[in-house]
Amino acid sequence: MAKDYTITHLKQLESEAIYILRETAAQFEKPVLLFSGGKDSIVMAYLAKKAFWPAKLPFPLLHVDTGHNFPETMEFRDKFVEEIGAELHVASVQKAIDEGKVTEETGPYASRNGLQTVALLEGLEEGQYDAALGGGRRDEEKARAKERFFSHRDAFGQWDPKNQRPELWNIFNGRKQHGEHFRVFPLSNWTEMDIWQYIKLENIELPNLYFSHERECFVRNGVVMGITDFMELLPEEKANVKKMTVRFRTIGDATCTGAALSTAATLDDIIDEVAAARQTERGTRADDKRSETAMEDRKKEGYF
């Protein structure tokens, strides 16, 4: 029998992502890779290293910094960036607030998540980037299920879901008018499980927030939140702060990223946990719970 020329599904996803990353470098004048310090953007940056190896990344990383970070995220970010030999730019939400460009929400439910969009768009404009690579996956949320690899944004950074360009085979149309730009999602076809299995396969280092640890937490709307300096607690929440054994399934703004009660301390534990989980990972993000189409609304405005 003839040799069976097939590759495993993880290798297919890897190859597809590398192809998208190379297309992005080739089709755009000034791409940038959005780096949050979360596992998806870590995997994406790692794949970018593979795509252009042995040369360096032909584009910088951009971190949209809400100023509400867990300290571990920042330490990890700087170390990681140095290791892959990339250039890092920071778009600061704090700066946008200080400059009076945005008004911060106040009160216990205050979140800087909405302001991220402003800082992101500013960061993109300042750097004159015409394509921003994001780690979004279609399995994360229903509004993302119809997202393209090359997602066109108008001059205001807005997404028009009804007017998306069709994507056939592996031909991607990145042509645009002056002032318009693209979001590019190389991990579109990956699932959460794929990401974890790939991290294990490739032995990629992650921030320790992803692994089980003890932390002062409280519960809001059924979501476990870590205590930080940036968050105002309601009296009954204050009364119920306690040490919990948790880990984070996504890493975003500390004020709206919920923790999961978990004892998963290793990659294998996490993989078992993800396999058994009956909640999608965005289920722990308070920002998506605001309305049924919350994600679509934020995406239309220019969110990742």
Partner 1 sequence: MSESESSAGYLDMDLLRFTTAGSVDDGKSTLIGRLLYDSKAIFEDQLEAMEKSSKSRGDENVNLALLTDGLRSEREQGITIDVAYRYFATPKRKFIIADTPGHIQYTRNMVTGASTANLAILLVDARKGVIEQTCRHAFIANLLRIQHIVVCVNKMDLVDWSEETYNGIVEDFKKFASRLDNIVEITFIPVSALLGDNVVDKSENMPWYQGPSMLYHLETVYIGADENHIEARMPVQWVIRPHSDKWHDFRGFAGRIAGGVFKPGDAVKVMPSGFESTIKAIHTMDGELEEAYAPMSVAITLNDEIDISRGDMLVKPNNAPEPRQDVDAMICWFSSTKKLAGRGKYILRHTTKEVKAIVTEVKYKVNINTLHKVEDDLIFNHNDIGRISLRTSAPLIADSYKTNRISGSFILIDEQTNETVAAGMII
Residues of span 138-157 touching partner 1 by CB under 8 A: 138-139, 141-146
Residue with tokens 């722990």: 284
Closest distance of CB 63 from partner 1, Å: 24
Residues 113-132 within binding reach of partner 1 (CB under 8 A): none
Contact 197, 271 (CB under 8 A): yes
Closest distance of CB 155 from partner 1, Å: 13
Is 203 a binding residue for partner 1 by CB under 8 A? The answer is no
Neighbours of 256 (CB within 10 A): 23
Is 87 a binding residue for partner 1 by CB under 8 A? The answer is no
Residues 67-86 within binding reach of partner 1 (CB under 8 A): none
Contact 233, 45 (CB under 8 A): no
Q: How far apart are CA 94 and CA 40, in angstroms?
A: 24
- Judged by CB, which is closer to partner 1: 18, or 110? 18
Task: Specify the stretch interacting with partner 1 by CB under 8 A; choose among 70-78, 121-129, 234-242, 278-286.
Answer: 278-286
Cα dihedral: 111, 146, 40, 185 (round 10): -110
| Contact partners, residue 123, CB within 8 Å, separation at least 6 | 62, 64, 89, 90, 91, 129
Which of 155, 157, 161, 236 contacts partner 1 by CB under 8 A?
161
- Judged by CB, which is closer to partner 1: 5, or 107? 5
Is 168 a binding residue for partner 1 by CB under 8 A? The answer is yes
Is 272 a binding residue for partner 1 by CB under 8 A? The answer is yes
* Residue 71 burial (C-beta neighbours within 10 Å; 0-12, 13-18, 19+): exposed
Which of 122, 130, 253, 296 contacts partner 1 by CB under 8 A?
296
Residues 20-49 within binding reach of partner 1 (CB under 8 A): 22-23, 25-26, 49
| 304: its two tokens | 């990742």
